[in-house]
Structure 1
Amino acid sequence: MARTLRLEFPGAIYHVTVRGNERRTIFRADADRVRFLEKLAGKVDEHHIRLYAYVLMPNHFHLLLETPRANLSRFMQEFNTAYTVYFNRRHERTGHLFAGRYKARLVEGDPYLLRLTRYIHLNPVCTDAMREQSFEEKRRFLHAYRWSSYRSYVGIVRRESWVDYGPLMELVAAGSRDREQEYQQFVEAGLAQSDAELQTVMSRSSKAIGSEEFCRRAEEAYRELAGSQGQVLDVAMRRRENPFPLETVISAICSHFQVTPEFLRLRRGTHVARLLAMKLLKEEAGLTQREIAVWLGLKDGSGVSRHLAVLNHMLESDEQLARTYRSIRKAIRG
């Protein structure tokens, strides 16, 4: 059987679904889920993926992600292999864990990102066992469910440094001081009423999620890809160019704060310029946390991870800092 073609370009957004072989469970204990998330976090950083949402179910998982480096296939192959090797060794089994290749549909950006995250985050209460439960019972179950990004979006638990919360929070509550509450209300409205419009959108194409025009262009791009033996032709669908040079990012930060690169590299502690350098080197220059640590003189990527978690929390509560971040990012992008 021919392998499924993947349309890849910088800035592509995908809804990825992976199911267990013969719909069998892919997690036998919480330890498996913990290890799954550890490996996911590592591969997200290694491949410069922007992960917007995830959920783990007994026999499948969902990811909503963006690929600034047009590398979905490599990321998914390495991640699925890493978890399969772990799972087979731990449970003394052999053979395939997942059912064939993963399903990945292109997403048409902002108009559908919010609704897709709601769809993903509501998965745990859309099972047969939960379908007849009351609104409050579903809500309590959702708040207690540990294996998705939802609880960290709404402030029940601390945010994870390898999940990119910013774009979705800006979409749901631009200008609001309590974005977590706004997002919680948006998602939990789906407990009472299904999103019929999203269901219609998701049924339009097996290749894409979006408007009729977007789905048509995606289908055409896949046909061209099949005819060109893997050469991607649909440049018009790109959202973002390749990462910016490290020097461009550092220059923008130094210019804004009137400091030198040496100040960023040699200063210890959590000066805001240094924190923003970590975030923008990751987002705009595409560096891994380990590479950022080396440049800034830290011991390893775990230090960067901790600082990013602090900064992301600050950005949610400090509008002046958020404006500074957006201003520097705008300067980098020209």
Structure 2
Amino acid sequence: MENNDYLAFIDLLQESAQMFNVGIAAYCLMPNHYHLLIQTPDANLSRFMRHLDGVYTQRFNRSHKHDGQLFRGRYKSILIDEDRYLLELVRYIHRNPLKGALEDALGRYPWTSHKGYISNAKKWDWLHKKFILAMFSKNRSESMKRYRKFVSQESPEEISMVFESVRLPPILGSDRFIKWVKKHFFNDKQNSEIPESKSLAPSIEEIKTAICKFYSINEEDLLISKRGSANVPRNIAIYLARRLRGDNLDAIAKAFNIRAYSSVSSVVNRTRILLSKGWKINKMSFWFLIVPITSLVNLLKNYHKLT
């Protein structure tokens, strides 16, 4: 990588941020990867990243007379709780070159946004930093002073372990934040704008608990199967495990003590047919496992209104 390659990426980053209404709060360009901390008010992360990587690849290949892919695999993303982890992530990103031995003192590596946080120069106005600095102080000079002190200290081991893990968590925040995300965005769980969105789905145990509470039964009742009679609670739980979680048939079979995965497929198909013939489920029904338990009764009634 040459200096012009880094400069070209930063130029494209600014251009793309304006085009897609994305706030770039922090960045770090390493020789073989990059880190971004961004805000997407229009929920267009995938489109922004596709444009950024795609256009940069075209420009890089044209400049170096190469062809083919430049970035390997899909990007990894984490949804961050701003109240608890935002500042930690800014520090982690800006200290990344120091940790990677690309600089011997913080701020000497030129391809991060760190200098933008300690500068009043207008060339950094495109950086979405005011909100971050305001978390330190409402006074601009004081906020920069506190930022300097904060970033000069090493990231806590807990933070480093999270971001250096092979498997990154899709959401990083308090339990309250994670529940809020599930409540507001689970309906878009299969949306391409949420790459790790399956994590928003309820667990098998949560599905079982919800079904048992609604029908006033024990979990053991969900494992009962009798010829000639339908175990409606069990069938709904199986259908939801498949519909909401996308679990494979073998996993669902084990969870409900069913010998053959083909039996799970039959249950799912029968339930789907019943829904198409009259069991109406409105949009909100699929949120029932991520809202308070007290809301379950009203939401589950949607399964039986027309039966």
Equivalent residue for 1:207?
Answer: 170
Aligned-partner Cα distance in 1 for 2:91–2:138: 17
Equivalent residue for 1:144?
Answer: 108
Structure 2 residue runs of 5 or longer lacking an equivalent are 201-307
Structure 1 residue runs of 5 or longer lacking an equivalent are 1-27, 131-136, 238-334
Contact 2:20 2:48 survives alignment (8 Å) = yes
Give the TM-score of the pair, scaled to structure 1.
0.51
For these two proteins, the number of residue pairs brought into alignment is 194
Equivalent residue in structure 1 for 2:6, among 33, 40, 43: 33
Tell me the alpha carbon deviations over residues 51-95 of structure 1, each in whole angstroms, 9 at most, x when there is no partner.
110010000001101111111111111111110001111111111
Aligned-partner Cα distance in 2 for 1:176–1:156: 9
Equivalent residue in structure 2 for 1:106, among 64, 67, 79: 79
Equivalent residue for 1:297?
Answer: none
Equivalent residue in structure 2 for 1:91, among 59, 64, 68: 64
Q: Does 1:170 align with 2:134?
A: yes
Q: Does 1:186 align with 2:150?
A: yes
Tell me the alpha carbon deviations over residues 29-48 of structure 1, each in whole angstroms, 9 at most, x when there is no partner.
00001111111100101111
Tell me the alpha carbon deviations over residues 253-281 of structure 1, each in whole angstroms, 9 at most, x when there is no partner.
xxxxxxxxxxxxxxxxxxxxxxxxxxxxx
Equivalent residue in structure 2 for 1:70, among 39, 43, 50: 43
Q: Does 1:195 align with 2:156?
A: yes
Equivalent residue in structure 2 for 1:115, among 70, 76, 88: 88
Backbone CA RMSD of aligned residues: 3.1
Equivalent residue in structure 1 for 2:16, among 28, 43, 48: 43
Aligned-partner Cα distance in 2 for 1:51–1:172: 18
Code of the aligned partner of 2:143: R
How far apart are 1:195 and its partner, in Å?
A: 0.9
Aligned-partner Cα distance in 1 for 2:98–2:42: 34
Identity fraction in percent = 34
Using a 3 Å threshold, how does the CA distance of structure 1 residues 222 and 99 change in structure 2: closer, same or farther? farther
Equivalent residue for 2:205?
Answer: none
Contact 2:77 2:170 survives alignment (8 Å) = yes
Tell me the alpha carbon deviations over residues 269-312 of structure 1, each in whole angstroms, 9 at most, x when there is no partner.
xxxxxxxxxxxxxxxxxxxxxxxxxxxxxxxxxxxxxxxxxxxx
Tell me the alpha carbon deviations over residues 114-155 of structure 1, each in whole angstroms, 9 at most, x when there is no partner.
11000000010111x46xxxxxx832xx22211111012112
Aligned-partner Cα distance in 1 for 2:193–2:140: 43
Equivalent residue in structure 1 for 2:99, among 126, 141, 152: 126
Code of the aligned partner of 2:172: I
- Between 1 and 2, higher relative CO (CA 8 Å, sep ≥ 6) is seen in 1
Aligned-partner Cα distance in 1 for 2:139–2:87: 16
Contact 1:153 1:159 survives alignment (8 Å) = no
How far apart are 1:198 and its partner, in Å?
A: 2.4
Contact 2:9 2:56 survives alignment (8 Å) = yes
Aligned-partner Cα distance in 2 for 1:180–1:220: 36
Contact 1:207 1:219 survives alignment (8 Å) = no
SS of equivalent to 1:172:
coil
Aligned-partner Cα distance in 1 for 2:184–2:68: 34
Aligned-partner Cα distance in 2 for 1:117–1:225: 28
> Which structure 2 residues correspond to residues 182-331 of structure 1 after superposition, within 5 A?
182-190=146-154, 194-199=155-160, 206-215=169-178, 225-226=188-189
SS of equivalent to 1:41:
helix
SS of equivalent to 1:101:
coil
How far apart are 1:221 and its partner, in Å?
A: 7.9
Code of the aligned partner of 1:198: I
